[in-house]
Structure 1
Amino acid sequence: MPDYTLLARQLEALLDARDWLTNSAQTCAFIMQQVPDLNWVGFYLQRQPELLTLGPFQGKPACNPIPFSKGVCGAAARSRETQRIDDVHAIADHIACDAASNAELVVPILCGDTLWGVLDLDSPRCGRFSPADQEGLEALVEVFVRRSELPDFSLAWQGKPSAW
C-alpha cells in the first residue's frame, strides 16, 4: 500500500501553480504513477446542473458526460460522499467506459457548499480500494483543493460571469 502521508507531501510540492487545470492534470499523472493497480484516474467537473463533464485524466478515452442519476460518479456527485466499490459489475447502473475496470473509488470535490467535481479512480483488480486507500486519496484531493484556485462553474449556468 502506498505511503499516503508521503504522497500528500510530494503532491503539495508538485502543485506549485495555483492554476486548477495544470494542477488537475498533474494530480492525475502523479496518482497514476504512484498508486499501483490503476487503469484510469481523472476528474469530472460539474459545469452544468446535474451533469459531470470529463476533465483532465490518465488512461483510455472515457465516457462523457455523466448525469448525476447514473453510475458511481453520479452517486458521488448526488450524495457528496466518497464511493468505494469493490465490484463495479454488481452496480446496476454502472457506466462501463473500460471493460477492464472492476473496482472504483470516486471522491467528491467541494468548494464550500458547491460541488466542483469528482476525482474518479478505476482498477482492473476487484476489491482494489481499502478504507486506508480511501482516506489517503481523500487527503490527496484535499491537497489539490488547497493548492488550486477552483473556478465556480455554477456561475455560468446561473447566468453570471465566471472565471472559467
Structure 2
Amino acid sequence: MAEQLNVVKGDKIEQYENILPQIRGLLEGEPDLVANLANVAAALKSQFDWLWVGFYLIKSEELVLGPFQGPIACTRIAYGRGVCGTAWKKQEVLLVDDVEQFAGHIACSSEARSEIVLPIFSGQTCIGVLDIDSAHLATFDAVDEKYLREVVDLIAQI
C-alpha cells in the first residue's frame, strides 16, 4: 500500500495516468470496501481538487452516503432522483455540464456547478455510484469518463 500520493499537475490525461497506478496500489491486498472507497475518494480529491468526490452505496433500495472528500453531503438519495439516482436507475454514466439544467437535480451543495456520476457494478448488479462535483461548469468530458470507468472497474474487483 502506498503511504503517500505523488500528485502531478499537467493536462488531464497526464494526471489520470499518474494517479491510476497509485490507486491500484492503494487497493492491492486490501479487501475492505469502505477503506478502499475512502482512499480512492482521497486520492482523486488530492489529484484533481474537485469540489466533492465520494460514493453512495445501495442499501434498502436507496443510495446511502459512503466515504467522501469535500463539503457535507446528502445522506440518502432515492432511486431515480437527482443525478446519482438517475445514473443508478439508467445504469449508465451521466455527465452534467450544468447541474442547474438537470431536471430534478438535488442541490446537496450550492457550490456544485457540474457533475459526473458512474455506477459501480459487482457482476451485473449495481452496488453504488462514484459521484464527483465541480465548482465550475462543464468540467467533465469523455476523458474523465474513460479514466473514471477504470477506477470503478478497479473497485468492482474488490
- Tell me which interval the TM-score lies in, with the shorter structure as reference length: 0.7 to 0.9
Asked if structure 2 preserves the Cα contact closer than 8 Å seen for 1:2 and 1:34, the reply is: no
What's the counterpart of residue 47 of structure 2?
Answer: 34
Asked if structure 2 preserves the Cα contact closer than 8 Å seen for 1:109 and 1:115, the reply is: yes
Asked if structure 2 preserves the Cα contact closer than 8 Å seen for 1:11 and 1:27, the reply is: yes
What's the counterpart of residue 148 of structure 2?
Answer: 137
Deviations 1:6-61 (A, max 9, x none): 3221110122311101100000000001124x100110000112x10000000111
What are the equivalent positions in structure 2 for 1:1-164 lying under 5 Å apart? 1-3=12-14, 4-16=16-28, 17-36=30-49, 38-49=50-61, 51-146=62-157, 148=158
Distance 1:30 1:122 in 2: 15
Distance 2:19 2:150 in 1: 9
Deviations 1:112-157 (A, max 9, x none): 12110000000001000011111111111112222x2xxxxxxxxx
Please give the root-mean-square deviation of Cα atoms over the aligned residues, in Å. Answer: 1.1
So what's the TM-score if we normalise by structure 2? 0.88
> Unmatched 5+ residue regions in structure 1?
149-164
Which gives a bigger RCO, structure 1 or 2 (Cα 8 Å, sep 6+)? Answer: 1
Distance 1:53 1:63 in 2: 9
How far did residue 109 of structure 1 move? 0.3
Poorly superposed stretches of 4+, deviation over 3 Å: none
Distance 1:145 1:43 in 2: 13
Distance 1:67 1:75 in 2: 9
Percent sequence identity is: 38
> Unmatched 5+ residue regions in structure 2?
1-11
So what's the TM-score if we normalise by structure 1? 0.85
SS in 1 for 2:19: helix
Distance 1:69 1:11 in 2: 30
